[in-house]
């Protein structure tokens, strides 16, 4: 079984869009896939599980959101406290019976869930392979270096960096940025996506 933690350098950078692309690719390879959003704020107006299900062709039981809040804010502001241990237990149960599971964070890798609880701890608690989504735009090199080294320092298994070219000013700048991220993290730029595509989430 492959279990991935889809996270990124911030919010609104294409994590759900990438999750849908990866889920569809895995399905086309003949694997059973489940997508899980442990926590979603701004819900149901912003329903990433529904978006991924529609894009990837997942059944409703294979695109799941666990804990929700209507206010579009960091989880630390809307849960008192966030039920981290219970959430991890539910995630473990939902990982059973599928060839691949994609667990997408709410916001970026270091978003606080509550007191001394952060998004990245899902990856540690569940032994997930982390895929870091980086928007390819001015400033992305600093973001990629900071978050990439944060992941490594906290002993996450950094499986890949997914570079979202949707944000690039030009193809030449997109290639230049992606090449530098690859130089900083050799062998880690595993995905490039989004050039010229309407993403929607």
Beta bridge partners of 193: 164
Distance, C-alpha 191 to centroid of its chain: 13
pLDDT of residue 201: 58
Residues of the chain with pLDDT under 50: none
Size of the chain in residues: 201
Q: What is the pLDDT of residues 21-56, one digit of tens each?
A: 999 999 999 999 999 999 999 999 999 999 999 999
Q: What is the pLDDT of residues 2-24, one digit of tens each?
A: 999 999 999 999 999 999 999 99
E strand segments, the chain: 2-8, 33-41, 63-69, 100-104, 112-114, 117-118, 129-135, 157-164, 189-193
Pairing of β 33-41 and β 129-135:
unpaired
Half-sphere exposure of 95 (CA within 13 A, CB side): 18
pLDDT of residue 195: 86
Q: What is the DSSP string of 36-56?
A: EEEEEESTTTS-HHHHHHHHH
pLDDT of residue 190: 98
- Give the predicted TM-score (pTM) of the model: 0.96
How far is residue 54 from each of residues 11, 133, 174, 200, measured CA to CA in Å?
21, 21, 28, 12
């Amino acid at each position: 079984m492959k279990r991935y933690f889809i996270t990124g350098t911030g919010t609104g950078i294409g994590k759900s869009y990438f999750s849908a692309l990866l889920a569809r690719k895995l399905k086309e390879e003949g694997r059973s896939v489940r997508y899980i959003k442990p926590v979603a704020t701004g819900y149901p107006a912003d329903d990433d599980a529904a978006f991924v299900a529609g894009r990837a062709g997942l059944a409703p039981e294979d695109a799941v959101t666990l804990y929700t809040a209507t206010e579009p804010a960091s989880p630390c502001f809307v849960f008192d406290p966030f039920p981290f241990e219970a959430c991890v237990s539910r995630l473990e149960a939902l990982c059973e019976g599928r060839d691949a599971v994609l667990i997408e964070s709410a916001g970026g890798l270091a978003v606080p869930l509550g007191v001394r609880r952060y998004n990245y701890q899902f990856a540690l608690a569940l032994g997930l392979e982390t895929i870091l989504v980086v928007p390819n735009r001015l400033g992305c090199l600093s973001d990629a270096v900071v978050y990439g080294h944060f992941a490594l320092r906290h002993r996450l298994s950094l499986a890949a960096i997914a570079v979202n070219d949707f944000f690039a000013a030009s193809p030449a700048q997109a290639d230049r940025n992606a090449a530098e991220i690859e130089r900083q993290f050799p062998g880690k730029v595993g995905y490039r996506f989004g050039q010229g595509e309407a993403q929607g989430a």
